[in-house]
Amino acid sequence: MEKNIAKLTTADLQFYEEKGYWISPKLLDDEQIARLRHAHERVWAGDYDGDGYAMYGHISVPSDPHQIRKLDNAWWINDEVRDVVTDPIIGEMAAYLMQTNEVRLWHDQLIYKPSAGSTNTQAGNVGWHQDYGYWQASSNPNMITVWIALQDTDLKNGGMMSVNGSHKWGLIPDSDTFFDQDMNKLKEKYTADSREWVEEPCILPAGHASFHHSLTFHGSGQNVTNEPRLSVVAHLMPYDTFYRPGVQFHHNVTLLGARPEAGQRFANDNFPILYSK
């Protein structure tokens, strides 16, 4: 982690509250970036740290080389990923943006977007979606995604885009469309009610991160460079995040124990604390 990272200011908070996202200064030093890039190689090759298993029991690498690769809770099997997604500095930044005193990990994601090469494939696209569209078992949409770039990232290599202010729209029905790769069709769907749709690219030099609200619409298009686009993502929640039953399944509910109860906090070893004031 870079030393001497300045504390966030009220101007940062205002930007986040207005736009639904905020771009950090450089968080990772070059050595840590290199280690995390190596962690990607090891994870996709099935080379684990520790004696456990990947979430869902195995690593799934799509047979289509242009398809996006995604693994949830890579921290279970990789020490470098664990270190960054539980980092207290990242936690403190998120605490400030969520205006909470304690931050825990909801889960992480390792995402590998291959080059589209000379094809016109959409297989690497991430459809416009709201993260909370998947997370309705959580009582609290005041959650944050920290998307960390492991190389210079812009629209050429399929970098993320956010829709300005879309977190203020609330939860839009059926917005769990990460794997729907027709970006134009999704945009039509989500603007059907005359919402003002202004896309903003998240241009991130290596080691910088975008912090976005769980209701902010985001997605990403083709990687037209010759190199894969690597990222590590931490999904974070504030202290007062409880289980809300009867709405939607999420795998995290199974991590609360055999008989989870309404109102139970997502607060055990499966959800490590990054920061506590």
| Closest residue to Fe ion in the complex (CB) | 131
Question: Residue 60 CB, nearest distance to Fe ion (Å)?
Answer: 18
Distances from the Cα of 122 to the Cαs of 77, 113, 116, 151, in angstroms?
29, 11, 8, 21
- Measured from the CB atom, the residue of 48 and 197 that comes closer to Fe ion is 197
The residue among 147 and 271 lying less far from Fe ion, judged by its C-beta, is: 147
Task: Give how many residues touch Fe ion by CB under 5 A.
Answer: 1
* Given 87, 92, 102, 131, the residue binding Fe ion (CB under 5 A): 131
Q: What's the min distance (Å) between Cβ of 235 and Fe ion?
A: 8
Q: Which is nearer to Fe ion, 63 or 140 (CB)?
A: 140
Residues 68 to 87: which contact Fe ion by CB under 5 A?
A: none
Shortest Å distance, C-beta 91 to Fe ion: 19
Q: How far is the CB of 9 from Fe ion (least distance, A)?
A: 26
Candidate segments 53-61, 104-112, 128-136, 236-244, binder of Fe ion by CB under 5 A: 128-136
Three-state SS for the chain is CCCCCCCCCHHHHHHHHHHCEEECCCCCCHHHHHHHHHHHHHHHCCCCCCCCCCHHHCCCCCCCCCCCEEEECHHHCCHHHHHHHCCHHHHHHHHHHHCCCEEEEEEEEEEEECCCCCCCCCCCCEEEECHHHCCCCECCCCCEEEEEECCCECCCECCEEEECCHHHHCCCCCCCCCCCCCHHHHHHHHCCCCCCCCEEECCECCCCEEEEECCCCEEECCECCCCCEEEEEEEEEECCCEECCCCCCCHHHHCCCCCCCCCCECCCCCCCEEEEC
Per CB under 5 A, the segment of 57-65, 70-78, 131-139, 253-261 that binds Fe ion is: 131-139
Pick between residue 4 and residue 146 the one whose CB is nearest to Fe ion.
146
- Number of residues written out for the chain: 277
Binding mask 186-225 for Fe ion (x = CB under 5 A): ----------------------------------------
Q: How far is the CB of 69 from Fe ion (least distance, A)?
A: 15
Residue 108 contacts Fe ion per CB under 5 A: no
**Closest to 210 (Cα-Cα) out of 22, 19, 20, 18:** 22
**Least distance (Å) between residue 185 CB and Fe ion:** 18
Minimum CB distance to Fe ion, residue 218 (Å): 6
Which positions touch Fe ion (CB under 5 A)? 131
